[in-house]
Structure 1
C-alpha cells in the first residue's frame, strides 16, 4: 500500500490539522459560505471548485454541506490534470491518500472494476502525484462527511466529449453495486474581469443545470469559457443522469474577486448538485 502524500498542503490549504479544521469552519460561516445548510433530497453528485481554500472554500462548502447528509461508501472524485503527466485518463489503486486530517483509502476493487468497464480509465499512480484538483476535495469530504468512506480518484488529461461519455457511463455501472457519491472538480472562468467572468460562467452553468452535455460542450467552445475541469463536470453529469438525477441545482456562485475584493482578474467558482 503506497501513501499518496499531499502535493499542495501548506499552499492551497494549511498543513496543520487544527489550522485546516479552523479554516474549513471559517469558510463554512463566511458570507459566501453554506452556514448550516443541509438538504434532505437525494444527491447523486456535485461540482466543486478546487482553488486555494481562502478563495474557493466558502463556495465549496455548499456542495459538501449537501453531500454531508447523504449515505455513501465510495466518493468518486474526478479532476483535470493540470500538470499533463501520466496517462490520458487514470485512476489508481493500492494506495492511501494522506491529508492533515488523516488517511483515506483508495478503493482498489472499484479501480479494477471501472478499468474493466472502460480501458481508457487506466490504473496509474504517477498521474496523481502532483495535481491539486482531486487533493483539495479530500479534506473537505473528511470534515463534512463523518461516515466511513473510500475514494476513487480519476484524473483527466483528455476531456473531450466522447471520453466524458465513456467515463460517466463507467461510473454509472460502478454505482449499480456500490453506494457512491460523485464529485466533479473544476473552477470556471480564469483570469478575466469580474463582470465578464460572471456572464461567461452563468452561460456555461445553464446547460449544466439542464444536464445537457452536448449543450455544455457547445457553450464551452462557442464562448471559449476557460473552465479547467470541463471533462470532470461532463463525466459527472453523464453518470448522475444515468443513475437517476433529473436536474442540477446551483447552490452558490462567486469569483475570487467577489471573495477578495480584487475584481480585475478573477477565477469563477460554483457549487452545483445533481438531484
Structure 2
C-alpha cells in the first residue's frame, strides 16, 4: 500500500479546494513573472522562499518559484528543507512515505534520494515531525504548478548543526535535474520599521556569504540556510535577492510583523545579475 502524507494545512495556509488553489498559485506566479525577469533568466540551482499563509507571503514565494519555470522538464527532483515548528527533535527528518498530498494531487517522494541519505546518522524517518508541519507543505503547490511531475526529498530540520545540513545537501546536490528549496521566513513579531532593518541586515549577510551564522531570531529557517550557504559558496553559486517584504506590506498589522524574502542562487555559467 502506498504511504501518503496527507495535506495538513490546506484551507488554512492556502486554499483547500483544488480549483481555487490552482487559480491562486497561477495568479501569484503570473504577477511575479510580470514584475520580474523570470522569463529571460536561467533557472537557479537553489532558492530560499517563505512559508507563511499565501495571503501574507505568497507573492514573495512566487517570485522565487517563477525563476524555476524555465527548468520545467529539466528539473526532476526538488530537495526541500524547512524548519520544525511543531515537534522538537534532533537531526533531520524524512516523512517515511512515498508521496505528499495537496489539493492538486500527490508529489512523489524521491526514493533514490532517501536511499542516498541512509548512511547519515543525523537523518532519520520521523512521520510525526511532518504530520502537522506547514513549512514544507506550503511549498508543494508551487512545485506542482511550476515544475509538474517531479519528485521531492522532503526534510524537516530540527536541532541540527549547519555542517550536518551541508552534508545532506552535498549528498543530494546532483546536476541540473536537482534544485534545492529552503523554506524560511525572516524576523518574527517586531514593529514594522525595526523588522525592515533586521531583515535587510539578514539578507545582506546571506548575499555576501557572511561566515557568522544567522540566528533563529533573524530567520526561523536559520539552520537550513546556514547549511546551504557554505555549500553554495563551495559550488561557486552567486546569490541574488528576488523579493523582500513583511506581513505589514501584504495583509497584516504593522505593529508586529513577520519578514519574507526570496533569494536565488545561480551557477557560474548563469547571468546572476538579472541583465
TM-score using structure 1 length: 0.88
Give the aligned length. 261
Whole-angstrom distance in 2 between the partners of 1:193 and 1:27:
26
Runs of 4+ with >6 A deviation: none
Asked whether the 8 Å contact 2:88–2:159 carries over to 1, the reply is: no
Whole-angstrom distance in 1 between the partners of 2:146 and 2:50:
16
1:102 is aligned to 105
Aligned partner of residue 198 in structure 2, secondary structure: helix
Q: Please tell me whether residue 235 in structure 1 is matched to residue 227 in structure 2.
A: yes
Shift in Å, 1:114: 1.8
User: Which of 115, 122, 125 lines up with 2:124 in the alignment?
Assistant: 122
1:207 is aligned to 205
Asked whether the 8 Å contact 1:168–1:238 carries over to 2, the reply is: yes
Whole-angstrom distance in 2 between the partners of 1:93 and 1:268:
31
Whole-angstrom distance in 2 between the partners of 1:179 and 1:240:
16
Shift in Å, 1:6: 0.6
1:138 is aligned to 140
Which aligned pairs between 1:226-265 and structure 2 lie closer than 5 A? 226-245=218-237, 247-260=238-251, 262-265=253-256
2:41 is aligned to 40
Q: Please tell me whether residue 268 in structure 1 is matched to residue 266 in structure 2.
A: no
| Consecutive unaligned residues in structure 1, runs of 5 or more | none
Asked whether the 8 Å contact 2:78–2:181 carries over to 1, the reply is: yes
Aligned partner of residue 50 in structure 1, secondary structure: coil
1:80 is aligned to 83
Question: Per the alignment, do residues 252 and 176 of structure 1 end up closer, same or farther by CA in structure 2, a change over 3 Å counting?
Answer: closer
Asked whether the 8 Å contact 2:93–2:123 carries over to 1, the reply is: yes
Shift in Å, 1:140: 0.7
Q: Please tell me whether residue 20 in structure 1 is matched to residue 12 in structure 2.
A: no
Which aligned pairs between 1:182-197 and structure 2 lie closer than 5 A? 182-197=180-195
Whole-angstrom distance in 1 between the partners of 2:172 and 2:60:
29
Asked whether the 8 Å contact 2:43–2:68 carries over to 1, the reply is: no
Whole-angstrom distance in 2 between the partners of 1:178 and 1:130:
31
Whole-angstrom distance in 2 between the partners of 1:226 and 1:134:
19
Shift in Å, 1:135: 0.5
Whole-angstrom distance in 1 between the partners of 2:168 and 2:158:
17
Aligned partner of residue 20 in structure 1, secondary structure: helix
Question: Per the alignment, do residues 274 and 178 of structure 1 end up closer, same or farther by CA in structure 2, a change over 3 Å counting?
Answer: closer
Shift in Å, 1:102: 0.7
The alignment's C-alpha RMSD in Å is 2.0
Whole-angstrom distance in 1 between the partners of 2:225 and 2:91:
16
| Consecutive unaligned residues in structure 2, runs of 5 or more | 267-275
1:3 is aligned to 4
Question: Per the alignment, do residues 17 and 100 of structure 1 end up closer, same or farther by CA in structure 2, a change over 3 Å counting?
Answer: same
Asked whether the 8 Å contact 2:26–2:145 carries over to 1, the reply is: no
1:225 is aligned to 217
Aligned partner of residue 86 in structure 2, secondary structure: coil
Aligned partner of residue 118 in structure 2, secondary structure: helix
Question: Per the alignment, do residues 49 and 239 of structure 1 end up closer, same or farther by CA in structure 2, a change over 3 Å counting?
Answer: same
Shift in Å, 1:126: 2.4
